[in-house]
Structure 1
Amino acid sequence: MAEITYRNASCIYESADSLAVDSLNLDIEDGEFVVLVGPSGSGKSTALRMLAGLEDIDEGSISIGGVDMTDVPPKDRDIAMVFQNYALYPNKTVAENMGFALKMRGIGADERRRKVEEAAKVLDLTEYLDRKPAKLSGGQRQRVAMGRAIVREPQVFCMDEPLSNLDAKLRVQTRTQIAALQRRLGTTTVYVTHDQVEAMTMGDRVAVLRRGQLQQFSSPTELYDRPANAFVAGFIGSPAMNLLPATVTDDGVLVGNTVIPVERDRITSLHSAGVTSVTAGIRPEQFEITDGAGVEAVVELVEELGSESYVHTRVPGSGNQIVARSLTRTPARLADTIHLRKREGTVHLFHPETGERVGD
């Protein structure tokens, strides 16, 4: 079994002012695909390198299958790494690259060839086994790097932004292949990315990190539907959730000159807690453009995406920016004054100072 447990795991770099990873707690199930996501400097790659033994655990512990890995060297952790750069030997063929780690472990040529051919079949690399890396595309090279990890049959795959060097179309194709491959193999996988769309489409669960601290660890739908704080709300979703300063009223929250209705029990909860102002979070798809009712806003940009449009606006006076999705083409023009009315759906409420979710 390859359950992974982070228990108050921390790491600080020499001469740094703060922890790179600060008391991280995660329980990753056997066979689960978990994604670590966050902006640059959030500690996601450091957390992965701690698991692989490439960075020291300064406090706390990390275990694999119930075994504490604190003093276990990387080569004895039964982990296979896939990096952002492919790290292939240019003078070796695809087959030799994939089988090199097995050769170093003393596995015979026949057994190596069998494992390499099996992995190549899974990755659609059979016809390229005798080629050198220079004769392959970026996506094919990344699949070779994946194959090199697969033939080892490790307890855990550690993937550190493996798609960053690919173009946009190839990234979408390859991430689908990686997710499907992991489901087929059933190997516990920890995957690092800064791309929240990649995280949402690939992971069974996603851990959102910020400044070395875990913000939320949930399924993609839970992150989208019930973000734990304003940071997660603004980070998950494309375009990001609208986060607007609002005043609590008896009927809802006042944004600009418009009251947006909120359920009575949530308003009562806010009043009971003495909360008079909040940050209201509303997804772009929850706004619709109307002729007169709703929040008045001036159009600053229209993104035409074919099947839908995103209208970027600014509320006069307050300066608040609101993005709304429209399913019709050219719903407004630059500098037009429009009105945005909230459709059905949850208004997410966050404390204006701490950013934590309130009113539930």
Structure 2
Amino acid sequence: MAAISYKNASCIYEGADKLAVDSLDLDIQDGEFVVLVGPSGSGKSTALRMLAGLEEIDGGAIEIGGKNMVGVPSKDRDIAMVFQNYALYPNKTVGENMGFALKMRGVGLEERNRKVQEAAKLLDLTEYLDRKPGKLSGGQRQRVAMGRAIVREPQVFCMDEPLSNLDAKLRVQTRTQIAALQRRLGTTTVYVTHDQVEAMTMGDRVAILKDGRLQQFASPTELYDHPVNAFVAGFIGSPAMNLFTVPVASGGVRVGERLVALERDQLTAIAAAGLDEVTLGLRPEQLEIGSAEDDGLLVQVDLVEELGNESYLYASFPDREIRAIDGTSATIVARSPQRAPARIGETVTLRKREGSAHLFHPETGDRIGA
């Protein structure tokens, strides 16, 4: 086990005009489960491959256990990789697949079998040790790939989207197993995914990347409650936070013809920044659905999604001048614990709960206020 430090680590691919990973600073504690998440092309997989020694570090450094890994071959970093495609030998049994790396390192048969049996017990694979991978389900094959990594007893686990090939139900089950297993083993783990729900449910801390640059590194609750910018705010949460640019008014901001009141400290922060418009963020679950006559945001219902235990209401503003942060006409999503909270085409009011508004700079996207 070992702590990991990215120190202004950068990587650029040959022929590219910008860095794939740009001056990444990240300190990962010994035994911590850290998730790298971001959209396609954000640099998350490149950052993991730099750690594993599969990509060159073109600037800065990466340390494992206080030792600089620049120039150190992948095989000498004491890291075990788990990939998306399992990479199992089809002609070998589960037990042989799990113990193959140990065999290549010259570990004796008795010791090899002991470690394989221990890992198989942890992963509920004992009864499958004599089977070939072709006789296993996708989830079982991924557990075999995990077992192959575990028997090596590495300092660090590197996992590159290991659940991408599984169906939705199996993904939920397997991510729970991986998170629980990591906590039992206590091995420092860096896990890459594009799925923000996966990131939020698995990681002790989550690093969000965009265009090769780190946006925020914090616990899941900190990311959700206090996103540092509009990108993080819109990326974390499902459905995403509602974000639109609105003018500042006395006591709050104006959304169409309706005033949304803000907290005193938020009004102070807006005044200090000298802004006459801001990006307002409202999470769907912080909105309450009322009648058209109530105070709040006046919207027209476009779609209602019934999920059994809750409903999602998708609506648009009668005032088409209200803009989303990408400049298009704004829409809004609200979550309701009630079934059929409104009908399509109906006009309703969405009231925000006290203290639930997030504010961001309309140009830089940076958070305004606490």
Give the TM-score normalised by structure 1. Answer: 0.99
CA drift of 1:289 comes to 1.1
CA shift digits 1:137-184 (9 cap, x unpaired): 000000000000000000000000000000000000000000000000
> Within 1, Cα distance between the matches of 2:273 and 2:244?
20
Task: Give the C-alpha shift of residue 247 in structure 1.
Answer: 1.6
Give the distance between the partners of 1:73 and 1:325, measured in 2 at CA: 50
Q: Do 1:244 and 1:255's aligned partners in 2 also have CA atoms closer than 8 Å?
A: no
- Counterpart for residue 311 of structure 1: 313
1:127-138 correspondence runs (5 A): 127-138=127-138
Distance in structure 2 (CA, Å) of the matches to 1:282 and 1:325 = 11
Q: 1:335 aligns with which of 334, 345, 365?
A: 345
Structure 2's unaligned 5+ residue stretches are 321-328
Moved >2 Å (runs of 4+): none
Contact kept, 8 Å, 1:302 with 1:310, in 2: the verdict is yes
Contact 1:36 1:208 in 2 (8 A): yes
Deviation at 1:317, TM superposition (A): 2.2
SS of 1:267's partner is helix
Q: Say what the alpha-carbon RMSD is for the aligned residues.
A: 0.8
- 1:328-357 deviations in Å (ceiling 9; x for gaps): 101112222211111233211000000000
2:226 aligned partner, one-letter code: R
Note if contact 1:286-1:345 (Cα within 8 Å) is conserved in structure 2: no
Q: TM-score, normalised by structure 2?
A: 0.96
Structure 2 counterparts to residues 277-356 of structure 1, below 5 A: 277-291=277-291, 292-293=293-294, 294-318=296-320, 319-356=329-366
- Matched pairs, number: 360
Aligned pairs for 1:18-97 (under 5 A) are 18-97=18-97
What is the Cα deviation at residue 250 of structure 1?
2.5
Q: Distance in 2 between matches of 1:106 and 1:269?
A: 64
Alpha-carbon distance between aligned partners in 1 of 2:40 and 2:168, rounded to the nearest angstrom: 19
Please state whether the residue corresponding to 2:201 is helix, strand or coil: helix
Q: Secondary structure of the equivalent of 1:253? A: strand
The secondary structure found in structure 1 opposite 2:243 is strand
Q: Distance in 2 between matches of 1:191 and 1:227?
A: 21
Identical amino acids, percent of aligned pairs? 75
Return the alpha-carbon distance in structure 2 between the equivalents of residues 121 and 359 of structure 1. 51
For 2:123, give the aligned amino acid.
L
Q: 1:45 offset after TM fit, Å? A: 0.2
Partner of 1:156: 156
Comparing 159-168 with 12-21, which one deviates more in the overlay?
A: 12-21
1:265 Cα deviation after fit: 2.3
State the shift of 1:196 in Å: 0.1
Task: Tell me the amino acid that sits aligned with residue 225 of structure 2.
Answer: D
Asked whether the 8 Å contact 1:35–1:203 carries over to 2, the reply is: yes
Identify unmatched segments of 5+ residues in structure 1.
Answer: none
CA distance in 2, matches of 1:266, 1:200: 27
Provide the rounded CA distance (Å) in 1 between the counterparts of 2:369 and 2:302: 32
Q: C-alpha separation between the residues in 2 aligned to 1:88 and 1:273?
A: 56
Question: Which moved further from structure 2: 245-254 or 151-160?
Answer: 245-254
Counterpart residue type for residue 317 of structure 1: D
Q: Render the CA deviation track for 1:97-141: whole Å, top value 9, x for unaligned.
A: 000000000000000000000000000000000000000000000
CA contact (8 A) 2:263 2:355 kept: no
In the alignment, is the contact (CA less than 8 A) between 2:102 and 2:112 conserved in 1?
yes
CA deviation after TM superposition for structure 1 residue 314, in Å: 0.6
Structure 2 CA distance, aligned partners of 1:227 and 1:41?
21
The 1-side partners of 2:273 and 2:217 are apart by 26
Cα deviations across residues 30-75 of structure 1 (Å, max 9, x unaligned)? 0000000000000000000000000000000000000000010000
SS of corresponding position for 1:174: helix
- AA in 1 matched with 2:258: T
